[in-house]
Structure 1
Amino acid sequence: MSSLDGTGAAPSPRASLPLASEQDGTYPRPQLLRRAWADLDGTWSFRNTGDDPSWRSGFPDARDITVPFPPESPASGIDEPGFHPVVWYARTLTRAELDAAGYGPGADRLRLHFGAVDHRARVWIDGRFVGEHEGGHTPFSFDVTEALGTDPDGEHVLVVRAEDDPHDVTQPRGKQDWHEEPHAIWYRRTTGIWQTVWLEAVPSRSIAALRWLNVDHATVRLTVRLAGERRDAERVRVDAWWQGTGEELASVEVAVPADADEVVVPVPVARQTNGQAEDELVWSPETPRLVDATVALVGVDAVASYFGLRTVGTDGGAFLLNGRAYDVRSVLNQGYWPESHLAAPSRAALRREVELIKELGFTAARNHQKIEDPRFLYWADRLGLLVWGEAPGAYAFSPLAVQRLVREWMDAVERDASHPSIVTWVPANESWGVQHVATDPAQQAYARALADLTRALDPTRPVISNDGWEHTNSDIVTIHDYEGDGVRLAATYADDAARTALLGGRGPADRRILVGGATDEGQPVMLTEFGGVDFQPGARREDGWGYTSAVDGDDWVDRITALYDGVRASSFLAGSCWTQLTDTMQETNGLLNADRSPKVPIERIRAAVTGR
């Protein structure tokens, strides 16, 4: 074994750890890999009848549920779409699963990970409380070593209580309906466990988190967070190589500051100082090149990771990717499946979603009102897709709503900032949670603070204060416009005079574009929701709708083409986002049916989207 595993000198980390950039989409934390982990998805016991302390040690009379699918969904086996304010889960942890997690000789601690549990979770093992977490879209984990007691070789009962009040509008809810039946633009709920649950063994001092940020075209900055009892004279080593060729790119070793659990490691990539060759390695949708890396707490722990070399920004009314103007051609992606709701029906479905978006001619996806599974972002990194990271909104403005959204958004930015595919942050959409931001100084202050907080957490990406409607301090001014006539759309976004009139007045939804002292400073302008044309091949849903409707497939393609022609005619739009990728429940305005099949041959949709 390698010295990076703490057991003596040995071969290169390349041989001792998996290639992070060549995963199969299974590993639930794509940018921090160890060899061993145990997947706990599958059949669990389930109860939804309220609180009972006896359940903390298991409940054999319960029904079976398939995790990680929410109980409202058919895929779960429960398929009860009504309200579930409190639900309970239980399963047995076996010795085989502990072995699969690497929990044995040389592994001192066992961690239990949850990808996401909506909204508040409490966890027990063998009746012993191990921890709790609030925030329905972000990951958490607990050290459960002590909970295994004196019999780590036996079987242990894991119990999870999830609380998700469907009427609590201070929770970041996204598109989850507070009515029992879906209405307007809201969908059925996703309660409880909806991302992978898994086990992982770690040393007593271990690498807990990594964060890669692009400083410039030739340097990334890695922040390594450590956990457990500190050892003397700790050092962190980073080795990086180009996965495509095996070329060594960097090798850096630094001391961990005394009494610190975090170290920042600048990782210069010397080959990028040759400006004539730097494009060979940069990441973009057209060239999604990734750099593999190993990160070691020398002699103690090691993990595999990856990053992409790319920069994003704005200048002169343009969105910049790797220093050059880039036309962002995006699609609104709800990330919702009829059989499994916010949970993907399979891990392969996450890859297929990225592939479909690219096949339709898009270079970007706006993941709408959802913090998507990290494995979607992995495929966006690997296959080449720009992603807008967006917070699921709360519906109320109150101290509790502010506290909850800020905490969850900070966790989301921390989780996803390392992905090269993420190029923009959107902490608020259409004034959700700040319904009176046009006139209320307190809500304006909150919108500004959210955007500035995001910049403080990540100064490398543009931030949009309130996508589509009233902007306070956005790096990109984004507008939602569901005009159904391509000629009229073209006139609204024709030239600089149209731009000045638009930003100086009221927008398409009769909303002021700039509020709270915000002014036009030459920011890029993007049309980040448009289209939404209803077309239902075959039998029509009585409750199906879009913002406009087509009578047949030819009419539908003509309407899409005309609207995109209007966008393409603009002299100032820096990007656009079509609504939407798929039909979603009563919204029948997708380019694809809910089952992801195209409504007309995909080549016709692509031609309409790309103009060629």
Structure 2
Amino acid sequence: MDSILRQEYPRPQFQRTEWMTLNGMWDFSFDEENYDRKIRVPFVYEAPLSGIGVNEFHDVIWYRREFLIPGEWADKQILLHIGAVDYSCDVWVNGRHMAHHVGGQTGFCIDMTPVIKKNGNQVRIRVQDYPGDLDIPRGKQFWKEKSESIFYTASMGIWQSVWMEPVEAAHIEQVLITPLFDEKAVRFDYELSHWQDCTLETEITFQGKTAGKMRISPVGKKGTFCLQLDEAALGGWNVTEDFAWTPEHPRLFDVEYRLKQSQETVDVVKSYFGMRKVSVASGRFLLNNRPYYQRLILDQGYWPGGLMSAPSDEDYGKDITLIKQMGFNGVRIHQKAEDPRFLYHADRMGLLVWGENASGYVYSRRLAQDLLQEWSRIVLRDYNHPSIVAWTPLNESWGVLEIANRPEQREFCRALAAFTKALDSSRPVSDNDGWEHVDSDLLTIHDYESQEEVLKERYASMEQIINAQPAGRPLYAKGSGYHGEPIIVSEFGGISFAVEGAKGWGYSTAGSARDFLERYRAVMEPILKSPHIQGFCYTQLTDIEQEINGLLTYDRAAKVDLEQIRRITSGENMTG
């Protein structure tokens, strides 16, 4: 089972050489802290790969793990990283309470140094979830024990990697990287644990060639500097033409930071970035200042063995390979913040990604507080990934179901969009994906109509598009309207096709492979032929539990010939 213990470095955008995984077998118990079971981390107990695989609700679960610190770490600070725990948790190290964390989509870090012992240590984690509470961000996790409709098996507990690393007292805490595409430069916003008597050296390379170097003497724990890329050093090539990042050419620059204190190197961190720009102008979505048509597929990020956790790191790459084989150039990650390892593979393989949050379902002040806090962590954690080209804080008015009549819900939607742009002004925001937009950079539409002629008529003119209500909901909430945003049909299709005896549902049903391909063509062509649409997102990549509307089975097997899917997706040989 070692192949599924997720031994790869969990944080590819900020890598150190020394680290140790705590994935693997942990002591575990339901409800009472008696540790009468074992569980395989990072899989939740509902997932078969956890070694437990039972779908039942518990108010509390407990984890325990013994660990040793390598002798060479003895004089360093020891940081414990916990990738993601659903939904809230408390952590003790050697009996001392070290952290309380709320939010199931992002992780946190603990400095264990004050309590670390040389001869052995113990970490205990108490996790609590609230399956009946609909005002916490839960995404597609169902609040009943048996999944149904569009909702899936709930996930409680640790579902991303747990690991630790040593650092010196003076170390780099965070660096946000912003490509300045038009200026052929890069901005770095850094945070240090200490800055007195320190220097920070930064070197950018491309395939071994130095593209820029800078050495600064920080005057505080936080700071900003810009580094111009050296085109001459790169052979005289134009940075924004020959080294730009796109899905077709996912070129990446490597970065190495060296923090020195009193002339001694105390921290070395490696990272990377893509030289690319995302913008919106004149009703068009632009990538690197050029119109770019987005062919996305909805990716729920579920696996039959691991639920929200991929069985292995290789599975991310396999999914991306299949997605590109079918003619898509991107994904809309749906109702979860995907593991940073997936984003790393999207960066290096060339895949556009829309970043999304898990929604709640009932509006409350607690939902507003928790979602805002969790969303800010998602945006900042994933900021450096060039693959991410849009943010989606809300979906289909989930959590703000009365947005049409409740001004506080409209203001919450508006605030989320504004807050997102305050954290990241480099990417467009779809404020409430699908309908009832309040303040959005994109007009996104969810439309599961299956009739080709209806879709042709609906998307034939701007007037018909703006006035349409495909799901019975207006595209804009009260007080808002269209102001020239790019139009993207960000959910459509959902054609069910049962193979291998699968049973379930979709938004329309195909009876054979030939029928499926014809239905796929019938919903795809009206979108592709409309001169007003700047991209689409087809529902969906795989079957999931009772949903059988994927292009692939839940096990990632092709339902029909992938080359025929690619031809339709890319618009080759369109009829008419």
CA distance in 1, matches of 2:104, 2:221: 27
Which of 528, 539, 545 matches 2:501? 539
Residue 500 of structure 1, CA deviation:
2.2
User: Secondary structure of 2:214's match?
Assistant: strand
- TM (norm. structure 2) is 0.94
Query: Does 1:344 find its partner at 2:332?
Result: no
The residue number in structure 2 matching 1:247 is 209
Q: Say what the alpha-carbon RMSD is for the aligned residues.
A: 1.7
Residue 171 of structure 1, CA deviation:
1.4
User: Secondary structure of 1:133's match?
Assistant: strand
Structure 2 contact 240–275 (Cα < 8 Å) conserved: no
The residue number in structure 1 matching 2:60 is 86
CA distance in 2, matches of 1:271, 1:425: 32
Structure 1 contact 130–147 (Cα < 8 Å) conserved: no
The residue number in structure 1 matching 2:73 is 103
- TM (norm. structure 1) is 0.89
Once the two structures are overlaid, the 10-residue window that deviates more, 381-390 or 356-365, is 356-365
Structure 1 contact 118–164 (Cα < 8 Å) conserved: yes
Structure 1 contact 331–579 (Cα < 8 Å) conserved: yes
Structure 1 contact 271–278 (Cα < 8 Å) conserved: no
Residue 275 of structure 1, CA deviation:
8.6
Query: Does 1:501 find its partner at 2:461?
Result: no
Query: Does 1:471 find its partner at 2:434?
Result: no
Structure 1 contact 170–404 (Cα < 8 Å) conserved: no
Q: How does 1:251-262 map to 2 (within 5 A)?
A: 251-257=213-219, 260-262=220-222
Structure 2 contact 195–218 (Cα < 8 Å) conserved: no
The Cα offsets for residues 17-41 of structure 1, whole Å up to 9 and x where unpaired, read as: xxxxxxx992100111111110111
Which of 156, 160, 165 matches 1:191? 156
The residue number in structure 2 matching 1:114 is 82
The residue number in structure 2 matching 1:12 is none
Residue 232 of structure 1, CA deviation:
2.4
**Which stretches of structure 1, 4 residues or more, deviate above 3 A after TM superposition?**
272-277
Residue 506 of structure 1, CA deviation:
4.3
The residue number in structure 1 matching 2:247 is 285
CA distance in 2, matches of 1:430, 1:445: 16
The residue number in structure 1 matching 2:526 is 566
Query: Does 1:66 find its partner at 2:40?
Result: yes
CA distance in 2, matches of 1:173, 1:145: 33
Paired AA for residue 452 in structure 2: G
- Structure 2 gap ranges (5+): 1-5
Query: Does 1:143 find its partner at 2:134?
Result: no
The residue number in structure 2 matching 1:31 is 13
The residue number in structure 2 matching 1:513 is 475
CA distance in 1, matches of 2:534, 2:102: 38
User: Secondary structure of 1:330's match?
Assistant: strand
User: Secondary structure of 2:317's match?
Assistant: helix
Once the two structures are overlaid, the 10-residue window that deviates more, 483-492 or 447-456, is 483-492
User: Secondary structure of 2:132's match?
Assistant: coil
Residue 276 of structure 1, CA deviation:
5.1
CA distance in 2, matches of 1:573, 1:370: 26
Residue 352 of structure 1, CA deviation:
1.4
CA distance in 1, matches of 2:346, 2:58: 33
User: Secondary structure of 2:171's match?
Assistant: strand
Paired AA for residue 248 in structure 2: E
CA distance in 2, matches of 1:355, 1:85: 39
Q: How does 1:371-450 map to 2 (within 5 A)?
A: 371-450=337-416
CA distance in 1, matches of 2:237, 2:281: 21
Percent of matched pairs sharing the same residue: 40
Paired AA for residue 51 in structure 2: G
CA distance in 2, matches of 1:69, 1:540: 25
The residue number in structure 1 matching 2:549 is 589
CA distance in 2, matches of 1:547, 1:491: 20
Once the two structures are overlaid, the 10-residue window that deviates more, 41-50 or 475-484, is 41-50
Count of aligned positions: 560
Residue 252 of structure 1, CA deviation:
1.3
Query: Does 1:205 find its partner at 2:170?
Result: yes
Residue 277 of structure 1, CA deviation:
5.5
Once the two structures are overlaid, the 10-residue window that deviates more, 544-553 or 349-358, is 349-358
